């Protein structure tokens, strides 16, 4: 077995795709410290700058001091506290749903919820956008259901698949992200809602990159386009801490409590995490100024990149992909930006499709217009290899 592991690593290295862990420390003002250098950080998902907000840190510390370091058990044993229930009520109010349920992480939530939903019916057909996150792909594989991937954001292709393959299944599940993590564009939720209703399908929306940033009060795009029966989101991006939620009806919550292995067999989130969640939910609805500033930075970055001749793949959010194409070009540009004191890391296959290697620029409300202009100046001086 060890020989096969070594050979696998050798094959990865031969393609120059070896992943490594590099310690970094987040700093204020959209900066981070790595290898003794302060870098302008355009790689993190801390979109509203809440990861270092004093209220989150203080509330997390207070919860740990009062309630302890750990939760002690899974939710169905002794791991459900009044604090878990309070955060879930707050999430449901924030998202405008009947109930909510907390999970350890967004990856775990998607990988666990999708198989649970699929096994509710004797036969289930899943229809997912081809660019959904790896965790959704894992959930679809775990579901062992008939799965069809429609062309990205192509509602005509989705309807064709629903018409061809939907009638043969006893249940249908449509899955999308509201904001796509690598392209920064948005799902057409209005048409997805209509198709789900027309074909009697359950609509599942991953709001990981929209929660806190988009929609009324930062409640995500489903707040502006209600209709999805299952809405997953995270606390680890714009909400600045850790963990995930699913916002849904009481019926679906009860079903997941009984049938979702990722919830049933996982230790529940600890008190300090619940404290940070609670603080973020207090802050986010009143951060319209930060959201407006973040949107303006996105527009500025896209306009600047367009002027330099770069494709940003229809991005309309705080995620701006700078597509260069070949992997070697993405690596070269990433190194060039790092030399200029900017952390904006290259994204390559298999994370993104072949031929679309890019620098994924993740904007934050703690960045300034001058920070964006600095990035654009650095990109302008890059010479392709």
All structural domains of the chain with their residue ranges: 22-48+288-380, 54-285
Residues 172 and 200: beta-carbon distance below 8 Å: yes
Run of H or E including 106: helix 106-118
* Nearest in space to 132 (alpha carbons), one of 120, 124, 140, 144: 140
Run of H or E including 232: strand 230-234
Q: Which CATH class is domain 22-48+288-380?
A: alpha beta
* Nearest in space to 14 (alpha carbons), one of 327, 371, 343, 360: 327
Tokens 């062309």 map to which residue?
151
Q: Collapsing DSSP states into helix, strand and coil, what is residue 248?
A: strand
Rounded-to-integer distance, Cα 272 and Cα 62, Å: 8
CATH no. for 54-285: 3.40.640.10
Annotate 261-292 with DSSP letters as a single string: HHHHTSBPPPHHHHHHHHHHHHHGGG-HHHHH
Q: Which parts of 166-246 fold into alpha helices (H)?
A: 189-198, 221-224
Q: At what angle do helices 271-283 and 54-67 cross, to 10 degrees?
A: 150
Active site residues: 45, 133, 177, 181, 206, 209, 237
Burial class (CB in 10 A: 0-12, 13-18, 19+), 78: exposed
Residue 74 is classified by DSSP as B
Tokens of 100: 């909510």
Question: How confident is the model at residue 16, as a pLDDT?
Answer: 86
Per-residue pLDDT of the chain (385 residues; tens, 9 = 90+): 999 999 999 999 998 889 999 999 999 999 999 999 999 999 999 999 999 999 999 999 999 999 999 999 999 999 999 999 999 999 999 999 999 999 999 999 999 999 999 999 999 999 999 999 999 999 999 999 999 999 999 999 999 999 999 999 999 999 999 999 999 999 999 999 999 999 999 999 999 999 999 999 999 999 999 999 999 999 999 999 999 999 999 999 999 999 999 999 999 999 999 999 999 999 999 999 999 999 999 999 999 999 999 999 999 999 999 999 999 999 999 999 999 999 998 999 989 999 999 999 999 999 999 999 999 999 999 998 8
Cα-only R_g, the chain: 21
The model's pTM is: 0.96
Chain-centre distance for alpha carbon 336? 27
Tell me the sheet residues that pair with 190.
none
Residues 160 and 125: beta-carbon distance below 8 Å: no
Between the CA atoms of 182, 188, 193 and 198, what dihedral angle is there, to the nearest 10 degrees? -110
Rounded-to-integer distance, Cα 279 and Cα 61, Å: 11
* Distinct helix (H) and strand (E) counts, the chain: 14, 14
Tokens of 157: 């292709």
Residues 68 and 371: beta-carbon distance below 8 Å: no
């Amino acid at each position: 077995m060890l020989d096969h592991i070594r050979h696998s690593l050798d094959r990865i290295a031969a393609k120059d795709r070896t992943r490594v862990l590099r310690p970094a420390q987040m700093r204020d003002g959209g900066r981070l410290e790595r290898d003794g250098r302060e870098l302008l950080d355009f790689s993190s998902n801390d979109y509203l700058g809440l990861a270092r907000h004093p209220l989150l840190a203080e509330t997390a510390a207070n919860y740990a001091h009062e309630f302890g370091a750990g939760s002690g058990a899974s939710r169905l044993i002794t791991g459900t506290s009044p604090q878990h229930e309070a955060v879930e009520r707050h999430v449901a109010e924030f998202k405008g749903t009947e109930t909510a349920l907390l999970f350890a992480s967004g990856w775990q939530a998607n990988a666990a919820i999708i198989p649970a939903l699929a096994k509710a019916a004797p036969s289930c057909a899943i229809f997912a956008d081809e660019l959904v996150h790896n965790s959704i792909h894992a959930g679809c594989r775990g579901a062992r259901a008939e799965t069809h991937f429609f062309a990205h954001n192509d509602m005509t292709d989705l309807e064709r698949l629903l018409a061809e393959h939907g009638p043969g299944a006893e249940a249908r599940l449509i899955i999308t992200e509201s904001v796509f993590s690598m392209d920064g564009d948005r799902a057409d939720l209005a048409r997805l809602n209509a198709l789900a209703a027309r074909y009697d399908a359950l609509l599942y929306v991953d709001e990981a990159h929209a929660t806190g940033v988009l929609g009324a009060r930062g409640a995500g795009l489903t707040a502006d386009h209600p209709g999805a029966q299952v809405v997953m989101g995270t606390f680890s991006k714009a909400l600045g801490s850790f963990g995930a939620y699913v916002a849904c009806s009481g019926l679906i919550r009860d079903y997941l409590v009984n049938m979702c292995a990722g919830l049933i067999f996982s230790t529940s989130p600890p008190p300090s995490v619940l404290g940070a969640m609670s603080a973020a939910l207090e802050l986010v609805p009143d951060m319209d100024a930060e959201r407006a500033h973040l949107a303006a930075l996105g527009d500025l970055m896209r306009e600047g990149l367009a002027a330099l001749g770069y494709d940003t793949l229809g991005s309309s959010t705080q995620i701006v992909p700078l597509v260069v194409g070949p992997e070697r070009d993405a690596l070269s540009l990433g190194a060039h930006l790092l030399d200029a004191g900017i952390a904006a890391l290259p994204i390559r296959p298999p994370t993104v499709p072949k031929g679309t290697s890019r620098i994924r620029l993740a904007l934050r409300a703690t960045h300034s217009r001058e920070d964006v202009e600095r990035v654009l100046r650095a990109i302008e001086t890059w010479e392709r290899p």
